[in-house]
């Protein structure tokens, strides 16, 4: 875009403006509809074809203007003389409109950006401003339950790709004047809307400032998904661990905002981001808050144990065979010994092959069409698994262990990518150094996590640093009444989120 032309204000002559816009937007999908008012004043609508509701545009913008005598709408001074200036002319146009979403822009650049965003620019001859009507009609899918975040109990709505719909879903749940949306544009070519959502007075300013600073510093052509933004927001670029929370569900998103986090919605992505993020969030599910705290605690412990099993079991199995047989009970050791006796591969190599098979099958089943996926699982389970065992390439315990580890990992869906990589790492050190390597890598991982603060929040909080009040909703889940304060690690100034027995403000006012 030629910036000098684009930054210029609108001209008085309609045709001059149209020519400038045509120069800036020469694409064939940018259309112009020219017409005249009742007093023969030339007007034009400029819009992008396919993303505008033309019917609304005709009915609520063009048609009223065509039947309006603009000079009649201009204010008159004493004696009936018309007071004609830019401001009064603008007001006259606005009065003639029936469209509820209507605003003015002063420069051509703003007008062009609005056109690209799906809005329509109305230009009237002799008036040097542009009028924007929000007759956007973008193709959007319906709101449905997100496939990655299914809950048996609780709300089933999920975010979609349209940011306005997502903002509405958030507003629907947080009907407070403290809820703020701040939209920034990111992407040199895509000019994607990225909206910060937070509760004023609850979220902390330093986090908001840091996010804004990072978003403004992004220089990238295109933002196809929120994961791009998440990569730019992460304090450590090469970290194996997530530093930004993600969710597809508005109920989780609003709950996190209400706790004091800052949410980020990205146009074109159904995945919303939340900052700051701690590792225990992965172990929590939205359902935990809709069932009894005891059951929720048991489920969380199950997830935690599953996570450890998923990451460490293959490594311990290999290291037990190679370095420390005592780890296995005698009966099991004999069973394993008989099944691995004639294997051509070493225990670590065998586990490596089985794990590789699992990862390949997983990757292929995600990418393949559904009807092929069915046959793929048959090939994977029967042909590869069963035949490999009967042919003596692999042992049954190794397949059981990898299968179990694979299932366990999916109890914590948000940790699958990291867990998968960690499993490889642990397998590598378990095969090379035995249990010592596993313990050493565990210590190393913990030490890394202990100091990998993001946005001033330690990822292992509330365990380290120990925050007693936040332990009530970490692994062990206390009842609702006990969760009276907002998480301390978020450093919110507004600490109280629940007062048991407190009267409602409105009733107090009465």
- Contact positions vs another protein (CB under 8 A): 322-330, 332, 433-440, 442-444, 446-448, 450-451, 453, 456-458, 460, 463-467, 488-489, 491
Nearest residue (CB) to another protein, 19 versus 464: 464
**Cα dihedral across residues 232, 236, 239, 241: positive or negative:** negative
Nearest residue (CB) to another protein, 41 versus 328: 328
Nearest residue (CB) to another protein, 368 versus 450: 450
Nearest residue (CB) to another protein, 138 versus 333: 333
Q: How far is the CB of 289 from another protein (least distance, A)?
A: 23
State the SS3 of 139-155.
CCCCCCCCCCCCCCCCC
Nearest residue (CB) to another protein, 182 versus 453: 453
Tokens at residue 47, please? 């819009």
Nearest residue (CB) to another protein, 337 versus 383: 337
Q: How far is the CB of 246 from another protein (least distance, A)?
A: 24
Q: How far is the CB of 127 from another protein (least distance, A)?
A: 54
Q: How far is the CB of 448 from another protein (least distance, A)?
A: 8
- Tell me which residue of 192, 66, 44, 211 sits closest to 131, measured CA to CA: 44
Q: How far apart are CA 229 and CA 215, in angstroms?
A: 8
- CA distances 414 to 44, 244, 281, Å, are 50, 11, 9
Q: How far is the CB of 334 from another protein (least distance, A)?
A: 12
Q: How far is the CB of 450 from another protein (least distance, A)?
A: 4
Nearest residue (CB) to another protein, 298 versus 439: 439
Nearest residue (CB) to another protein, 138 versus 433: 433
Nearest residue (CB) to another protein, 223 versus 438: 438
Q: How far is the CB of 436 from another protein (least distance, A)?
A: 4
Q: What is the DSSP string of 296-362?
A: HHHHHHHHHHHHHHHHHHHHHHHHHHHT-GGGS-HHHHHHHHHHHTT-SS-HHHHHHHHHHHHHHHH
- Tell me which residue of 163, 173, 139, 135 sits closest to 54, measured CA to CA: 135
Nearest residue (CB) to another protein, 214 versus 491: 491
- As a residue count, the chain comes to 510
Q: How far is the CB of 101 from another protein (least distance, A)?
A: 42
Tokens at residue 19, please? 């020519």
Helical residues (DSSP H) of 117-273, grouped into ranges? 163-173, 205-216, 226-233, 250-259
Q: How far is the CB of 438 from another protein (least distance, A)?
A: 8
Q: In the 8-state DSSP scheme, what is residue 32?
A: E
Q: How far is the CB of 430 from another protein (least distance, A)?
A: 11
- CA distances 153 to 80, 123, 257, Å, are 69, 52, 21
Q: Are 199 and 178 in contact (CB under 8 A)?
A: yes
- Tell me which residue of 219, 281, 217 sits closest to 244, measured CA to CA: 281
> In angstroms, how far is CA 179 from the centroid of its own chain?
18
Q: How far apart are CA 352 and CA 278, in angstroms?
A: 31
């Amino acid at each position: 875009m030629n910036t000098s032309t684009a930054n210029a204000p609108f001209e008085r002559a309609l045709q001059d403006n149209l020519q400038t816009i045509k120069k800036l937007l020469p694409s064939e999908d940018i259309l112009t509809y020219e017409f005249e008012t009742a007093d023969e004043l030339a007007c034009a609508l400029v819009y992008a074809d396919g993303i505008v509701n033309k019917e609304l545009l005709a009915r609520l913008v063009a048609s009223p203007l065509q039947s309006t005598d603009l000079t009649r709408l201009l204010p008159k001074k004493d004696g009936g003389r018309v007071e004609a200036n830019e401001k009064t002319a603008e007001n006259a146009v606005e009065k003639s409109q029936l469209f509820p979403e209507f605003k003015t822009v002063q420069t051509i650049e703003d007008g062009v950006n609005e056109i690209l965003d799906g809005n329509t620019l109305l230009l009237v001859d002799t008036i040097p401003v542009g009028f924007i009507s929000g007759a956007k009609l973008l193709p959007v899918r319906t709101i449905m339950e997100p496939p990655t975040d299914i809950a048996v109990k609780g709300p089933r709505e999920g975010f979609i790709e349209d940011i306005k719909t997502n903002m509405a879903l958030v507003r629907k749940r947080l009907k407070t004047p403290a809820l703020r949306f701040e939209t920034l544009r990111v992407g040199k070519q895509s000019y994607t809307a990225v909206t910060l959502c937070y509760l004023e007075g609850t979220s902390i300013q330093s986090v908001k400032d840091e996010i804004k600073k990072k978003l403004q510093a992004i220089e990238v052509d295109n933002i196809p998904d929120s994961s791009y933004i998440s990569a730019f927001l992460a304090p450590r670029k090469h970290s194996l661990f997530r530093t930004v929370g993600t969710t597809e569900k508005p109920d989780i998103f609003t709950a996190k905002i209400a706790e004091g986090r800052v949410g980020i919605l990205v146009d074109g992505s159904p995945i919303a981001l939340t900052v700051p993020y701690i590792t225990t969030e992965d172990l929590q599910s939205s359902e935990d808050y809709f069932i009894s705290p005891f059951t929720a605690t048991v489920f969380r412990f199950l997830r935690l144990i599953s996570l450890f099993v998923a990451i460490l079991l293959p490594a311990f199995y290999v290291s037990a065979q190679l370095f420390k047989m005592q780890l296995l009970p005698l009966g099991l050791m004999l069973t394993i010994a008989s099944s691995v006796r004639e294997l051509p591969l070493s225990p670590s190599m065998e586990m490596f092959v089985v794990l590789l098979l699992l990862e390949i099958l997983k990757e292929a089943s995600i990418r393949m069409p559904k009807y092929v996926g069915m046959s793929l699982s048959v090939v994977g389970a029967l042909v590869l698994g069963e035949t490999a065992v009967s042919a003596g390439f692999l042992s049954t315990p190794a397949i059981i262990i990898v299968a179990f580890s694979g299932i366990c990992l999916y109890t914590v869906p948000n940790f699958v990518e990291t867990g998968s990589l960690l499993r490889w790492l642990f397998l590598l050190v378990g095969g090379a150094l035995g249990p010592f390597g596993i313990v050493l890598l565990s210590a190393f991982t913990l030490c890394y996590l202990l100091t990998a603060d993001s946005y001033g929040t330690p990822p292992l909080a509330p365990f380290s640093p120990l925050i007693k009040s936040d332990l009530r909703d970490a692994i062990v889940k206390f009842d609702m009444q006990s969760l009276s304060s907002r998480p301390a690690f978020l450093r919110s100034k507004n600490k109280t989120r629940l007062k048991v027995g407190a009267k409602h403000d409105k009733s107090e006012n009465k």
